[in-house]
Structure 1
Amino acid sequence: MTGTPATPPYPRVAPCRHCGRPVLRDNDGRWIHADLAYACRDRWGGITATTAAPEGQLAEWRGHQPGGESAGERGRP
């Protein structure tokens, strides 16, 4: 063992830090909402400028995923 976990810590589903909808990992290790949308939505259903990202303890694990960034951080300088 290398000391780095191969899977994220439990729970595997967490509320999104931006919109509160449940998020989990897709097959590529990126965060995605449970309804299979990467983009967050506001309370009226409109698409927002943020993407799926967990809140709390799971957010700290993002540095260990493929690419070392959360879906919400892709493409940022």
Structure 2
Amino acid sequence: MLELRPNCECCDRDLPPERQEAMICTFECTFCVECVDTVLGGICPNCGGDFAQRPIRPAALLAKYPASTKRVLKAEGCAPVQAA
């Protein structure tokens, strides 16, 4: 089950579970669509993978399976992956 992390790892923007602006990679690294498009160039800085829109968990299931409250923020800042 997805964690539904609460924020963008790059700019720390709030990304509540119902927000369509949340993007994730296959490891659930979570970023806002603005950072994915303008800062990261569509490539995850953690794993080098691409992004997909994070699915919306139905409100009725959020009560039983709540979203994560643990905020993750890149301490070294957010920069695109450099091509080798």
TM-score, structure 2 as length reference: 0.30
Structure number with greater CO (CA < 8 Å, separation at least 6) is 2
Q: Which has the higher strand share?
A: 1
TM-score, structure 1 as length reference: 0.32
